[in-house]
Amino acid sequence: MIDAKNISKKFKQQTAVDAISFSVNEGENFVLLGTSGCGKTTTLKMLNRLIEPTDGEIFINQKNIRNENAETLRRSIGYALQNTGLFPHYTVAENIAVVPKLFKWSKEKIRARVEELMIKLHLSKEYYDTYPNELSGGQQQRVGLARALAADAGILLMDEPFGALDPITRTRVRNDFKNLEEFKKKTIVLVTHDVQEAFELADRICLMDKGKIVQTGKPTELLFKPANDFVKTFFDEQRLQLEYKSVTIKMLWQFLNDNGNIESSATEIAADRNVWQALECFSLNETDALIAHKNGITKKISYASLMNAFNQYKKAN
């Protein structure tokens, strides 16, 4: 779907992006992760030609974007920014309607779409005619997301979209976003420096450093099969939590013992939940065991067997 081949970007003396290649599949959530200055934002902006690559080619749906009109290209790609970039002189509704208006949708169609998105993003109807500066940071970010989604583009580029929010608001907006059908449907390229966020949202993570890609892969691959020491140390600080969060009960299934003999209280848990969530379940519900189902088989899991299975999984990988 998106194919970047050997793209580079040089600013005067400095090389921001150094001949990198990657591809993003349709419907995939692809996260560009790295510290500031690693070239991830430059890479993102080259995808909708906000920045033109010095070298290399980018193909979207097999078409070289260099040969397309930049404005037409951008209208067909959703874009959300860290500081929202909302137009201060446009109302919330007008901001959301920017791209549909460029596409010259009918008034009714625009209105319907705006209202639909406001409901989806939990924006109260009363904000329809207010201006961005009257909204809280979280609400502004929701408007920014709605604007990026408005014309229902197949691709969504997001530049640290939750980066400017406080941790609590960030989690809330991110969760609401994750639960949108658009999130599941669309091809998303997201830039972040927040490791937790990357793991939470990514199908695949592309870890960058000094303009180069260090490793691309599923979150578990980066954790358990790091390509080099840089990848390994990059996650060290939050390793345990990341591991718990990236491994699901489903993935542990073969290592889990059925502790069917436990008589005491048990709580149901979905098999696609991760270990972190399972642990939360234990502590929040003060339960002794969890009940999970997979392929018609039911397992009753104790705390000890969960930890045991997790350790075995880690060894196996």
Considering CB under 8 A, how many residues would be counted as binding another protein?
24
Q: Which is nearer to another protein, 99 or 278 (CB)?
A: 99
Tokens standing for 104?
A: 């010259």
One of 42, 43, 84, 259 touching another protein (CB under 8 A): 84
- Measured from the CB of residue 121, what is the shortest distance to another protein in angstroms? 17
- 3-state SS, one letter per residue, for the chain: CEEEEEEEEEECCEEEEEEEEEEECCCCEEEEECCCCCCHHHHHHHHCCCCCCCEEEEEECCEEHHHCCHHHHHHCEEEECCCCCCCCCCCHHHHHCHHHHHCCCCHHHHHHHHHHHHHHCCCCHHHCCCCHHHCCHHHHHHHHHHHHHCCCCCEEEEECCCCCCCHHHHHHHHHHHHCCHHHHHCEEEEEECCHHHHHHHCCEEEEEECCEEEEEECHHHHHHCCCCHHHHHHCHHHHHHHHHHHCEHHHHHHHCCCCCCCCCCEEECCCCCEHHHHHHHHHHHCCCEEEEEECCEEEEEEHHHHHHHHHHHHHHC
72 binds another protein (CB under 8 A): yes
- Measured from the CB of residue 26, what is the shortest distance to another protein in angstroms? 21
> 60 and 67 in contact (C-beta within 8 Å)?
no
Stretch that binds another protein, among 5-13, 25-33, 94-102, 194-202 (CB under 8 A): 94-102
Show the CA angle centred on residue 143, arms to residues 140 and 147, nearest 5°.
140
Q: Which is nearer to another protein, 88 or 296 (CB)?
A: 88
Tokens standing for 280?
A: 């939360």
75 binds another protein (CB under 8 A): yes
One of 37, 55, 87, 317 touching another protein (CB under 8 A): 87
Q: Which is nearer to another protein, 135 or 290 (CB)?
A: 135
52 binds another protein (CB under 8 A): no
Q: Which is nearer to another protein, 75 or 210 (CB)?
A: 75
Length of the chain: 317
One of 3, 18, 59, 98 touching another protein (CB under 8 A): 98
- Measured from the CB of residue 47, what is the shortest distance to another protein in angstroms? 10
91 binds another protein (CB under 8 A): yes
67 binds another protein (CB under 8 A): no
- Taking CB under 8 A as the rule, which mask of x and - marks residues 122-161 in contact with another protein? ---------x---------------x---------x----
102 binds another protein (CB under 8 A): yes
One of 13, 14, 89, 125 touching another protein (CB under 8 A): 89
- Binding residues for another protein, rule: CB under 8 A, are 48, 50, 71-75, 79, 81-89, 91, 98-99, 102, 131, 147, 157
